[in-house]
């Protein structure tokens, strides 16, 4: 990317959260893919990559179920509403934020971004490796970040009297279309 400040959001790509399940009756639950409908990221790119910066804000209330695999029956619209209610109960109303502390070029095919991730008023240092993939006349910025919910003081969802649980580790997947040039 050329030096400058760039702003990204849902029109430019996806920010998804993938969950897994465990427990004695995990076969009745679903592995979910949630997508944030309200997020924004700002990247300030400098000629000196060490002076570059990334900021992001994700609204947890905007997470919607866009995929569900496994389970004893398909996920219904009512299930999706209940899942959303559980997410809001778990994460609250505060935005999820990220502020980089370090941006480093990675072998010309991406960047490594380290920074502070804030979820439910707890802050943890995370590192995200992002790759840049050609996509026609533009490129895509892609990366995955495992997040352990309990590291942020969150108790993963538990159902059926503890026999069905969401795994503590979830994965955030980012896929953004970069501007031409």
Tell the residue number behind the tokens 């802050």, with chain if given: 123
Average pLDDT, the chain: 88
Sketch the domain layout of the chain as residue ranges.
4-45+61-94+129-178
Say whether pLDDT at 25 is over 70: no
Instruction: Sort 162 into a burial class: Cβ within 10 Å, 0-12 / 13-18 / 19+.
Output: exposed
Say whether pLDDT at 76 is over 70: yes
Task: Give the total residue count for the chain.
Answer: 181
pTM, entire model: 0.89
Q: Which two tokens stand for residue 34?
A: 């949630």
The least confident of 53-57, 162-166, 176-180 is 162-166
Q: Where are the beta strands (DSSP E) in 26-137?
A: 31-36, 39-45, 53-58, 63-69, 96-105, 110-119, 122-135
Q: What is the pLDDT of residue 83?
A: 87
CB 11, CB 38: distance < 8 Å: no
69 Cβ contact list (under 8 Å, min separation 6): 30, 31
Backbone angles phi, psi at 91, to 5 degrees: -95, -20
Q: What is the pLDDT of residue 161?
A: 58
């Amino acid at each position: 990317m050329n030096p400058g400040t760039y702003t990204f959001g849902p029109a430019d790509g996806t920010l998804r959260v993938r969950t897994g399940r465990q427990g004695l009756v995990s076969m009745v639950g679903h592995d979910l893919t949630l997508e944030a409908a309200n997020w924004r990221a700002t990247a300030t790119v400098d000629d000196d990559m060490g002076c570059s910066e990334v900021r992001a804000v994700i609204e947890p209330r905007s997470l919607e179920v866009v995929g569900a695999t496994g389970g004893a029956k398909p996920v219904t619209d009512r299930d999706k509403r209940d899942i959303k209610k559980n997410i809001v109960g778990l994460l609250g109303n505060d935005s999820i934020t990220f502020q980089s502390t370090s941006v480093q070029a990675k072998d010309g095919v991406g960047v490594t971004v380290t920074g502070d991730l804030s979820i439910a008023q707890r802050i943890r240092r995370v590192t995200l490796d992002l790759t840049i993939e050609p996509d026609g006349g533009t490129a895509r910025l892609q990366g995955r970040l495992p997040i352990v919910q309990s590291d942020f003081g969150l108790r993963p969802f538990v159902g059926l009297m503890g026999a069905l649980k969401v795994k503590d580790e979830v994965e955030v997947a980012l896929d953004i279309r970069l501007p031409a040039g």
